[in-house]
Structure 1
């Protein structure tokens, strides 16, 4: 057996010589300003107008094709649920499609 006491650890060199990093071209871009969060709009006038309209007409009992992707099978239920949603979330952009669908239904029903 060898004598282990006098053994020195070998020095390991990972890099023989440090090389400078290659120069990188930096592109300056315009700073993107984040838009100021908009205050929620108030849809109360639109909601009231739509409520008056739907209250003044006889709702169809047959399915209504709202657009090429949507068919309303129960207009009364559709209107009731959409009004509940827009009233509870008045002005919140996430729920704008509910208001838009009510307006779209009004438009479809007014076309002879």
Structure 2
């Protein structure tokens, strides 16, 4: 039995429907990721290019480029956090040195 719809087999019609649904899903996914990248990039100081170009590239290339955005910009955030932590550690060491000097001065003044 070979079913046909307007000269096309049922298998071909099913395949076209699946392909169209997959296309719509892919377009929706690209739009969602591009919007998410734009919103995130607008909130922070992005590396390399601005939020509009990050979003446009994500719209065209899709979730893979959203991953590239995350790597480039989130690793920069990790580096900033490391820098802040090291500065905090340095400030703590400077405070320790200052306290040590104060204690030495107190001892000298007591003797």
- State the TM-score, normalizing by the size of structure 2: 0.28
Give the helix-richer structure, 1 or 2: 2
Determine which structure has more spread, i.e. the larger CA radius of gyration: 1
Q: Which has the higher contact order (CA 8 A, sep 6+)?
A: 1
- State the TM-score, normalizing by the size of structure 1: 0.28
